[in-house]
Amino acid sequence: MNRFSFFDALWTQYLELTPQASAIQALFASNGAEVINDHVAFRTIDAPGLDLDTAVGCFESIGYTVFDTYTFPDKHLDALALCVPDDPSAPKIFVSALRRGVFNREIEALLDRLIEPANQPLTLQSFLGSYPFTKPSWPEYNALANVSEYAAWLSTMGYRANHFTVSVNHLTQFASMDEVISALKTAGYRLNTVGGEIKGTPADLLVQASTLADQVSFVFSDQHEASVPSCFYEFAQRFATEDGTLFQGFVPNNANAIFDSTARQ
């Protein structure tokens, strides 16, 4: 599997759980826009074989290199950004991981039990839609979500693209993020409003917005069936640094709010 076949398979798999993404892409394309991915995001947990080091090894196999690191203390997350150094047109990868040892004993024991079957290290294939966990019960899911919506999302969705991100810089028919948001709202899409619809300012060199995640039905271990958040679509506009090139990193305050796109609604 090379980088191109990986992203083709990832996009196909993502659309199965995120129908809004194909509709939004069609909306942009109907205006004549070329839809280019700024980045794709993945989630995992700090445990042997599942941690950020393991994930990085998977992405290195298709040409990626880590170029920045971030921490999100409020959400108990660490994250890395990766790029393909010799191909700036490649989508960046943002991969985050839930910290362990920060929750109470009951939650830690629950996390231990849910991830216990994951005894094989992650591979690149794992990120194309895999679920190496034990399912939580409905009460366990809610207990997890009450301390970490991120953990609850991982406990139902497993490994897949959490979101793709449209490069607003390439949407030449939209002059600003405001216009993109206006088009999305006119078409009836619900946006993540945590920290405002637009996260960041041009002074941050990165402005972002995102939809709320689609919902899918999930059958819990106690046979309770409920709708849970699946995946969402993000929009990013980058601004030039002092040397005239577009900023390529991420802004922790923005990302902290974007994580909430998969919170229970």
Size of the site for Ni ion (CB under 5 A): 3
Q: Which is nearer to Ni ion, 76 or 199 (CB)?
A: 199
Radius of gyration of the chain (CA): 18
Cα torsion at 90, 52, 43, 233 (round to 10°)?
A: -20
Q: Does 38 engage in binding with Ni ion (CB under 5 A)?
A: no
Q: Which is nearer to Ni ion, 140 or 234 (CB)?
A: 234
Residue 249 CB, nearest approach to Ni ion (Å): 12
Q: Are strands 215-219 and 92-98 parallel, antiparallel or unpaired?
A: unpaired
Position 35: which residue type?
A: V
* C-alpha distances out from residue 46 to 100, 177, 247, 256, Å: 6, 34, 29, 18
Residue 165 CB, nearest approach to Ni ion (Å): 5
For the record, the structure tokens of 131 come out as 């679920």
> 196: buried, middle or exposed (CB in 10 Å: 19+, 13-18, 0-12)?
exposed
Of 13-21, 103-111, 153-161, 226-234, the window that binds Ni ion (rule: CB under 5 A) is 226-234
First to last CA, the chain: 37
Residue 111 CB, nearest approach to Ni ion (Å): 24
Residue 234 CB, nearest approach to Ni ion (Å): 5
Q: Does 234 engage in binding with Ni ion (CB under 5 A)?
A: yes
Among residues 21, 40, 41, 161, the one that binds Ni ion under rule CB under 5 A: 41
Residue 237 CB, nearest approach to Ni ion (Å): 12
Q: Does 82 engage in binding with Ni ion (CB under 5 A)?
A: no
Binding mask 114-133 for Ni ion (x = CB under 5 A): --------------------
Binding mask 164-203 for Ni ion (x = CB under 5 A): -x--------------------------------------
Residue 222 CB, nearest approach to Ni ion (Å): 33
The runs of H, that is alpha helices, within 99-236 are: 105-115, 138-147, 149-157, 177-186
Q: Which is nearer to Ni ion, 41 or 110 (CB)?
A: 41
CA neighbours within 13 Å on the CB side: how many for 2? 2
Q: Could you please report the per-residue DSSP string of 219-263?
A: E-TTS-EEEEE--EEEEEEE-B-TTSSBP-S--HHHHHHHGGGGS
Scanning residues 43 to 62, which ones bind Ni ion (CB under 5 A)? none
Q: Which is nearer to Ni ion, 115 or 168 (CB)?
A: 168
Give, as one character, the DSSP assignment of residue 186: H
Residues that bind Ni ion (CB under 5 A): 41, 165, 234
